[in-house]
A and B are shown apart, each in its own frame.
Chain A
């Protein structure tokens, strides 16, 4: 296994810059998710690591070796596309063993490795079955087995769960992460689904227009978003923004929203008057009749244990996640209270987060 070090990586297709200037480090055994919408440069980044595209400039180190211009076959990585591609005329054992056979490994060793891999994936009982009769989940496990049987230095995966329907995807997300916990293979996983990234990754790189907007643990990305783009891309529902115009001074501990003083984490920078946004995660809103900050219920979505209530305020519609034990009437007026320690502030024009105690705490 190995670490991956990316330095000033850039890729241009004609005049289109797919990846601008990426620098990041995936540690040995770490699971990194490259997350972003289509066209953000995540797949291009992955393909450069794999050696399927050559970078315009920059460097790629795999286990301390500069592989930037090595051929894909010389990089000792496994690339997993959509997981369903199996050889239909071969049984499970032959499908999993195929990459070893084509490497010229002796038969006995192949047998041993295939059985080990099958045990890891809990499919050792179906080794001699034909793949064409298998259920969806087992097919995916076989395809995964074929990728891991070679024990490459790292795994690269490009939206491997993209085509599955919701319920089954949930199951596979957990299996993939549990597999990672067992074999600790360095993994780079491309997805546009924030839920997959949050559920599986040790680190997430959120990409936008060829730029990594933020690189960090799922918790950092979620609770300390570096920009409005990240705050909006992560979370379901995403972070709420309430816009206001004001200047800010270092040491400020409150802002004025619709004429109401709202406590915020201590501000650590000076800012001339500009359009700003208060960022509030849905679970950090509570209803309180006493609060002067008012809104009217616009709709509610029952989710079982909790519910998401949309509230129309004079700064737009915001959504709160609250316990499911209260029924709301559409149009009902409610008072809103925010958890002051968890609020973020942004400068709207640049979209960047404003430095505050939220970002300096551990």
Chain B
């Protein structure tokens, strides 16, 4: 395992600037998630680190070694793709053992066997080691694909939306497992996704990417609680952050230049009150979380309903801001 440092990376495909001046350091043993929409430059970053693409300019260091011009095979990275790519004619065991059997590794068969069984247990596929890989469910295949990356001990694991092809339940299960395995192995991992829940729940630090640029890097709590811009604030949180004109609600203390106020559930105080400034439109019962849809003049807000407060559609409520986020006309955070 090792530190990975990216300095001033630029990459262009034709007219598209896929990456612009990207700087990022990933510490040894750290789980970093790049979060952004399709086309933001996430996958390009992974491919540059792996050596599948060459940067137009900039520098890539793995374990303090400049690898920018090295071939992929010399970089000591393991890549997990979105679609599981297993050898269909091999058993689960042989799929997992394959990366270890490469002649350059010179591992004894006892050592290979030990590692395969250890990883199979971690990704919970040890009961199917003798199955052909084609006789597995989608979730099992993806666990084998992740396991096959994990049997090696590369400088860094690169994962490109490895859970996106799985159903919701399995995805939730594997999120927790992947995070545990990464901590257990102490591995360095760079993971890209467009799913904010994956980023929030697994990352030690999240990097928010858009249009080839890295907008902010920080722990999930920092990014959620202390976003640098409107764009970043809107990437995290369910329901979405409410964006309001500065003078819509009382309780704010906007610094000069404030154009927009960002208010999440924790920035809104609600009191049921007949002479109030707002009205409850409807309540979206999602079971564990109920969303309150509120109308304030011409604006609509969505907030999580407090389970201890009885509110019905049509109720008048008074809505007050408590330490919300302030943004200027360009969307930068103020104060």
Contact = CB atoms under 8 A, between A and B. Distances in A.
Contact of A302 (B200, B238, B285): B200
Contacts of A181: 282
A166 interface: yes
Interface stretch (B23-31, B42-50, B113-121, B173-181): B173-181
A283 B288 contact: yes
B220 interface: yes
Contacts of A199: 284, 286
B334 interface: no
Contacts of A302: 200-201, 220-221, 224
A281 B168 contact: no
A276 interface: no
Interface string B221-249: 10010000000000011101000000000
Contact of A166 (B167, B175, B194, B240): B194
Interface in A245-286: 281-283
Contact of A198 (B168, B183, B287): B287
Given A165-B194, A305-B264, A236 B179 contact: no
Interface in A173-209: 181, 192-195, 198-199
Interface residues of B, number: 36
B169 A303 contact: no
Given A299-B180, A305-B266, A218 B287 contact: yes
Contact of B200 (A166, A218, A304): A304
Nearest to A307: B201
Nearest to B288: A283
A152 interface: no
A198 B200 contact: no
B287 A304 contact: no
A198 B224 CA distance: 26
Contacts of B8: none
Contacts of B238: 303-304
Contacts of B276: none
A52 to B, nearest CB: 26
A222 interface: yes
Contacts of A298: 176, 180
Interface in A307-341: 308, 310, 321, 324, 330
Nearest to B239: A170
Contact of B286 (A192, A195, A308, A310): A195
Contacts of B197: 301, 303
A237 interface: yes
Interface residues of A, number: 35
B194 A299 contact: no
Contacts of A310: 176
Contact of B237 (A218, A219, A222, A304): A304
Contacts of A198: 285-287
A238 interface: yes
Interface in A222-241: 222-223, 234-238
B288 A321 contact: yes
Contacts of B224: 302, 304
Given A166-B194, A299-B179, A305 B265 contact: yes
Contacts of A281: 287-288
A218 B291 CA distance: 14
A303 B168 contact: no
A167 interface: yes
B56 to A, nearest CB: 29
Interface string B196-225: 110011000000000000000000110010
Among the interface residues A165, A281, A299, A324, which one has the most CB atoms of the partner chain B within 10 A?
A299
B315 interface: no
Interface string B250-273: 000000000000001110000000
Given A195-B286, A305-B266, A167 B201 contact: no
Contact of A219 (B236, B264, B285): B285
Contacts of A324: 221
A236 to B, nearest CB: 7
Contacts of B88: none
B335 interface: no
Contacts of A304: 200, 224, 236-238, 264
Contact of B175 (A219, A234, A235, A301): A301
B2 interface: no
A236 B169 CA distance: 8
B163 to A, nearest CB: 12
A239 to B, nearest CB: 10
B264 to A, nearest CB: 7
Contacts of B167: 192
A301 B200 contact: yes
A194 B285 CA distance: 12
Nearest to B284: A199
A269 B220 CA distance: 48
Interface in B283-312: 284-289, 304, 307
Nearest to B290: A219
A166 B201 contact: no
8 contacts: A165-B194, A170-B240, A218-B286, A218-B287, A222-B285, A234-B287, A235-B288, A283-B307
Given A181-B282, A301-B201, 11 more contacts: A170-B240, A193-B168, A198-B286, A218-B285, A218-B286, A299-B176, A302-B201, A302-B224, A304-B200, A305-B265, A305-B266
